[in-house]
A and B are shown apart, each in its own frame.
Chain A
Amino acid sequence: MTEKIDLYKSLKQEYAAPKKPRLVQTTDALFLAITGRGAPGGEGFQESVAALYAVAYTVKMTRKADGLQDYVICKLETEWWGDDAETALTDQPRAEWNYRLQIRTPDCVDEAEPARAAAALIDKGKSPRVRDVVFHRVAAHQRGQLLHVGPYDAEGDAFEQIRAMIEGEGLTAAGHPREIYLNDPRRTAPEKLKTILCMPVAG
């Protein structure tokens, strides 16, 4: 049996968590993802998180049962965007924020696997939201990122630092901001939350 894949560890460069913003080059990435709309941490958001994890673990464990390549489940990531691209996200009502929750997944996984996992889960009475978990691909790109320690609602300043760094390099920030959660908000005091914040560079 080949060794277990651990993308979070093997892609250290991409998951760098510097205190000061830094430019990072990513590689082509495959995610299992679910999109939704609503305030971060709200009920719909939590349901989406649960559905995504249910599919992610079902895909992984089904592969393991079938003797296919095993891997470690990566950290949860979220992209956020508003309906109005001209207005800063934080100036739009939180209930109208759009999100895409995602878990990076090795590309040995086949596109039919999440659908099969969802069918098995629904057969056992799990939420129909699992059907909305799909593949999401992000092409290699450059992004600014830093490690934010503290509550999620204090991220605005950190994103500003990333944007300033990007502009200082003569580049332009573009695309959706991304959070990569390094610990579990249900179990961690807000001031100890560790989140990698990312801002893609136009390009």
Chain B
Amino acid sequence: MKASTVESYRLRLWRVLDFIQARLDEPLPVADLAAVACFSQHHFHRVFRGMVGETVQNHVRRLRLERAALALRHGDSGILDIAQDAGYESNEAFSRAFKQHCGVAPSVFRERRELSFPRRPGAIAFGQMPPIDDLIVPGLGGPLMKVELVTRETLRLAGLRHVGPYNQCGNAWEKLLPMMGKLGWLSGCESMVGLCHDDPESTPAEEIRYDACVVVDETFEAFDDVTIHGIPGGTFARTVHVGPYDTLNKTYAALCGTWLPQSGHETRDEPAFEIYINDPESTEPEDLVTEIYLPIV
């Protein structure tokens, strides 16, 4: 473990947490948050999720709701004003979100003074940003997973873009593989690559961009909707995920939130990618093997 990088990641995380607490009235675009924390936008979501234990979006939403609960209890603003301060355009949307966290509607919460807004265990609450030395980073307490550092040549990929829910990425594969297979581009061995441009946990489902890709050489030319992607060569942190694809997020969280800060490495400003080692059609979900490559320096 390299103390200096752990401290650097802690400091950067503290800065972004502090920034969020002070600006809950602002839109807080991811680009700004990533910049405050000096993280590549490609990896910020996963580093945050891995270290903090909740996604950036959930963190911000929770703080805004906690602040709204205080306003309901101790202030005299109308519920619609409080809803708008919390970033909700309608009473209904606010009520729904509030109820999901608290179990009761905002109006009920206001009336019944014995109710308290539930705290997220171990999480920083609204208005209670600790000094940096007291910041507890849940991710840093997790066990270190097995990660290898590997050097890879530049990868040339032919890919088909999927935009939508992560669990429907298979649709892109259903189209891409017959097109590429007929042309003779499937070698059958470790050549199926997934580029996930957005963290599925932190991105609205309909906006998740994912490229289903097959490794090709320089003779491949783009056709129809199949486009060429280059993954620059360099050093990668590689870990192996065994199990269904819908639990990949846990492995990413451990890689980016626990291993990375303690590794002495920084990420490069390139997307992570996945190599699918076996065939999901003929393999039981618990036996699926996926290699995750995180570009680092």
A-side interface residues toward B, CB under 8 Å? 6, 8, 50, 52-58, 60-62, 64-66, 72-75, 117, 119-126, 183-184, 186-187
B residues near A, CB below 8 A? 177-189, 217, 219, 240, 242, 277-279, 281-282, 287, 289
Give chain B residues whose Cβ lies under 8 Å from the Cβ of A72.
281-282
The docked-state distance in angstroms from the alpha carbon of A119 to that of B183 is 10
- Say which residue of B178, B183, B186, B282 sits within 8 Å of A54 (CB atoms): B186
* Shortest distance from the beta carbon of B240 to any chain A beta carbon, whole Å: 8
Q: How far is the CA of A117 from the CA of B187 in the complex (A)?
A: 11
A186 to B190, CA, bound (A): 11
With both chains docked as a complex, state the minimum distance between the C-beta of B221 and any C-beta of chain A, in angstroms: 12
Whether B185 contacts A57 by the Cβ 8 Å rule is no
In the complex, what's the smallest C-beta–C-beta distance from A173 to chain B, in angstroms? 30
Partner of B186 from the list A6, A61, A66, A187 (CB cut-off 8 Å) is A61
Which B residues are in CB contact (< 8 Å) with A186?
277
Interface contact B182-A187, CB-CB below 8 Å: no
Specify which of A50, A61, A119, A125 is in contact with B180 (CB 8 Å cutoff): A61
Q: Which residue of B lies closest to A119 (CB)?
A: B184
In the bound assembly, the distance between CA atoms of A153 and B126 in angstroms comes to: 61
CB-defined A-B contacts under 8 Å, sample of 23:
A50-B187, A53-B188, A53-B189, A54-B188, A57-B186, A58-B181, A58-B184, A58-B186, A60-B181, A65-B178, A65-B179, A65-B181, A66-B182, A72-B281, A73-B281, A117-B184, A119-B184, A121-B184, A121-B187, A122-B184, A124-B184, A183-B287, A187-B277
Contacts of A65 in B (CB 8 A): 178-179, 181-182
B contact residues around A117 at 8 Å (CB): 184
A5 to chain B, nearest CB (A): 11
- Bound complex: CA A132 to CA B64 (Å): 65
Q: Which one of B178, B183, B184 has the greatest number of beta carbons of chain A within 10 Å?
A: B184
Cβ–Cβ < 8 Å partners of B189 in chain A? 50, 53-54
Docked CA distance A137–B181 (Å): 25
**Nearest-CB residue, chain B, relative to A124:** B184
The listed residue with most B CB atoms (<10 A of its CB), out of A6, A123, A124, A184, is: A124
Contact B186 A73 (CB under 8 A): no
Q: Is the CB of A61 within 8 A of B181?
A: yes
Q: Evaluate contact between B185 and A124: CB separation under 8 angstroms.
A: yes
Name the residue on B nearest A127 (C-beta).
B187
Could you tell me if A62 and B188 are in contact, using CB atoms closer than 8 angstroms? no
| C-alpha spacing A6/B177, complex, angstroms | 18
4 nearest CB pairs, A to B? A61-B181, A120-B184, A53-B188, A65-B178
Q: A73 touching B282 by the CB < 8 A rule?
A: yes
